[in-house]
Amino acid sequence: MAKELTSSSYIQHHLTNLTCGKVDEGWTCDPHRVEEMGFWAFHVDSLGWSVFLGIVFIVLFRLGIPKLTTEAPSGLQNFVEMVVEFVNENVRSIFTSATNPLIGPIALTIMVWVFLMNLMDLVPVDYLPELAKGVGLEYFKVVPTTDPNITLGMALAVFILTIFYSIKVKGLKGFIGELTLHPFGKYMIPVNIVLEGVNFIAKPISLGLRLFGNLYAGEMVFILIALMMFFSSFAFGIMGIFLHVGWALFHILILALQAFIFMVLTVVYLAMAHETEDH
């Protein structure tokens, strides 16, 4: 890069996605024309990693164990069964009033996929972007869950599923009634709509932003630690190594926890959509 490397440009570089979108002349991935693209642009790096890690999940959980044994399992099958059992148990403990064969797969996909996406946070912040620079990509963000589009995209899918099952279980009337007749009865419908509407919309937004916020903050700390090693003295560099290791170890906890929380909340929201009794 011709530009001189400064702290702010370093951070800015790490927070910018590889974006492709449509401009007047057609499709382009030029990072200087992102403003022109408007809404119809794609973060190719986030989506690419996201899809790649989804494929990793499928490979691990299906193609990695072509022969499922009913004898004592070993190796990968052992791990896979442990995860599935864990997810299934959680789903069963939350989903008590109704059964839905789709909830388990949703929960499993979310937990493993989000965990894998979070796990990319542990790859030192400069490795993959520098590699990408090697093949001519100026910006390359690695951790999909530090992109609000990704987390909110999943939350949106969960939101749509929630609405779908609410209507399917309670009927359109029941669903609308739930939004309008609570908590004050039918004479206060406008107030009810505001209160319940906020409650309803807040669920997916908080679901997506929680994951994004946690991972974004974690990624930012990694970037700052890396920054410290670049722009400071040798002694700070050494300290930075220990800081990085310490934060990475601590971050493992957050990665797994956030994946778990995303899964549990998804299941809870879907369970609420299945609940038919009046409050």
Partner 1 sequence: MNINATLFGQTIAFVIFVAICWKYVWPPIIAAMAEREKRIADGLEAAKKADDSLEEAQLAFDKELNKAKVEASELIDKANQRASQIVSDAKNKAQDEAEKILSSASKTIENETNNAKEELKSQMSEIIIDTTQKILDQEISPEKHDDLLKKAAAEL
Q: What positions carry a catalytic annotation?
A: 206, 210, 214
Cis bond before residue 129 (omega within 30° of 0): no
Question: Which structure tokens are listed for 108?
Answer: 């499993």
Which listed range, 36-44, 162-170, 235-243, 244-252, lies at the site for partner 1 (CB under 8 A)?
A: 36-44
Exactly one of 39, 74, 75, 187 binds partner 1 (CB under 8 A); which one?
39
Exactly one of 28, 109, 162, 258 binds partner 1 (CB under 8 A); which one?
109
C-beta of residue 219 within 8 angstroms of C-beta of residue 121: yes
For position 101 contacting partner 1 by CB under 8 A, the verdict is: yes
Residue partners of 190: CB distance under 8 A and separation at least 6: none
Residue partners of 276: CB distance under 8 A and separation at least 6: 97, 169, 170, 174
Contact pattern for partner 1 over residues 200 through 239, marking x by CB under 8 A? ----------------------------------------
Contact pattern for partner 1 over residues 136 through 155, marking x by CB under 8 A? --------x--xxxx-xxx-
C-beta of residue 102 within 8 angstroms of C-beta of residue 169: no
For position 102 contacting partner 1 by CB under 8 A, the verdict is: yes
The whole-angstrom separation of Cα 182 and Cα 204 is 20
For position 43 contacting partner 1 by CB under 8 A, the verdict is: yes
For position 105 contacting partner 1 by CB under 8 A, the verdict is: yes
CA-based nearest residue to 113, from 52, 203, 64, 68: 52
Question: Which structure tokens are listed for 121?
Answer: 């946070």
For position 46 contacting partner 1 by CB under 8 A, the verdict is: yes
The whole-angstrom separation of Cα 120 and Cα 248 is 11
Question: Which structure tokens are listed for 273?
Answer: 């959509």
For position 21 contacting partner 1 by CB under 8 A, the verdict is: yes
Question: Could you list the residues that contact partner 1 (CB under 8 A)?
Answer: 15, 17, 19, 21, 34, 37-43, 46-47, 50-51, 54, 57-58, 61-62, 68-71, 73, 80-81, 84-85, 88, 101-102, 104-106, 108-109, 113, 144, 147-150, 152-154, 156-157, 160
